[in-house]
Amino acid sequence: MSPPDVVVGLSGGVDSSVAALVLRDAGVSIAGLFMQNWADDGSGDCRAEDDRRDAVAVAGRLGIPIQFRDFSSEYWDGVFAHFIEEYAAGRTPNPDVLCNREIKFKHFLDAAQALGAGRIATGHYARVDHAHGRWRLLRARDAGKDQSYFLHQLGQPQLAATLFPLGDLPKSDVRAMARAAGLQTAEKKDSTGICFIGERDFRSFLAQYLPARDGEIRTPDGRVVGTHPGVFYFTLGQREGLQLGGVRGFAAAPWYVVDKRVADNVLVVDQVRDSPWLMSTTTRTGQAHWIAGTPPASRFDARAQTRYRQPDESCTVTVRDDGTLDVRFERPQRAVTPGQSLVLYDGDECLGGAVIESTDAPRTDGAAAGGSPGSSGPAPAGSR
């Protein structure tokens, strides 16, 4: 039996199912491969076996062979260990970015090539083309489903070997195609959130790896309004889960996380959604990854997203000598969060990105002169 031209990552979801359908109907020689990335932890919440059964059913319906690989050890070392380290440091990581770089477009690609395939395909909503002598990662046609943000760590070798069959399709068409083909994943609910947590409560899951450490919840001027089980359970801008009801002396209004002070285990909250303590105009990142291999220039204008599904914003990017970035936005940004990815675009083209290290949002620990956003002005980049 001759090797397939393309190996499709079949996850057991509707998107990867239709990616395989599109390629099969185009006459491409394909095989499926199911990746298990998370070992069953005994909680009963791991859906890997259900997803595996759905992937097998889809492969059978399409009449294509399917392979299986267990990447759970690689996932633990390359993705999950970093996830826990970042939360322990008070940052908010994005494991999907690392999963794509370390698992789906590294170990999966290696496995596909070992099977004799020249390329891989996934159900991601993004596009690839080749122009001016290089491969480009482009946004999907369906802007509401675009996943290029999570793929910004890919490089030229990965893009040259990758197909995104859904890049030009709206999600509504994808489900309709699955129904017409009789695929049992046609009505399957899209997976959301972090894959290894599933339907579990996030805080309960994280507590298995980061034990609770009670501390105070304070206002920016230092008044104690409650207690928390650990600053690493929260993220900047968060409203839910604070368990702050009516607080004596304060309005009956929602509270928002505006700072996480890991050193003294203090969570800082404010009752203004766009609190000045959350706003910043300058962001410093770690070392950037460029899809083309190099940045467009040492200083250039672009548009950037600082979290998934956030509208992109105009900015000026300065590439420092060590490869890190200083990014200044035209408009103040809300809750730019260390640990998340800042991803840069030129129109539909994704240029690359980097992990957010700090912003010039004012500090609440008294380190910034004046002690309040009204009197101190912005703190220097790197303040938090």
Number of domains in the chain: 3
**Residue numbers of the domain that contains 359:** 277-376
Same domain for 239 and 96, yes or no, is no
Alpha helix positions (H), the chain: 14-25, 48-62, 72-75, 81-88, 95-99, 108-114, 156-160, 171-180, 202-207, 373-376
The tens-digit pLDDT sequence of the chain (384 residues) is 689 999 999 999 999 999 999 999 999 999 999 998 887 655 555 577 889 999 999 999 999 999 999 999 998 998 999 999 999 898 999 989 999 999 999 999 999 999 999 999 999 999 999 999 999 999 999 999 999 999 999 999 999 999 999 999 999 999 999 999 999 999 998 876 566 666 667 778 888 888 888 999 999 999 999 999 999 889 999 998 898 878 888 988 999 999 999 989 999 999 999 999 999 999 999 999 999 999 999 999 999 999 998 999 999 999 999 999 999 999 999 999 999 999 999 999 999 999 999 999 998 875 532 333 333 333 334 456
Is residue 191 in a domain?
no
Catalytic residue among 46, 99, 315, 350: 99
Point out the domain boundary residue: 235, 270, 305: 270
Is residue 196 in a domain?
no
Q: What is the CATH number of the domain that holds 361?
A: 2.40.30.10
Same domain for 99 and 167, yes or no, is yes
Same domain for 223 and 135, yes or no, is no
Please, which contacts does 313-317 make with residues 24 or more away whose CB atoms are closer than 8 Å?
Answer: 317/344
Is residue 209 in a domain?
no
Catalytic-residue membership of 195:
yes
Same domain for 305 and 256, yes or no, is no
Contact 384, 259 (CB under 8 A): yes
Is residue 192 in a domain?
no
Same domain for 18 and 88, yes or no, is yes
Same domain for 104 and 233, yes or no, is no
Catalytic-residue membership of 99:
yes
**Cα gap 15→175, rounded to integer Å:** 8
Point out the domain boundary residue: 165, 180, 195: 180
**CA-based radius of gyration for the chain:** 22
Write the single-letter amino acid at 215.
G
**Cα gap 218→223, rounded to integer Å:** 5
Token pair, residue 309, equals: 């599904």
Taking the complete model, does pTM exceed 0.75, yes or no?
yes
Q: What is the CATH number of the domain that holds 236?
A: 2.30.30.280
Same domain for 282 and 345, yes or no, is yes
Same domain for 72 and 116, yes or no, is yes
Q: What is the pLDDT of residue 380?
A: 36
**Cα gap 333→354, rounded to integer Å:** 17
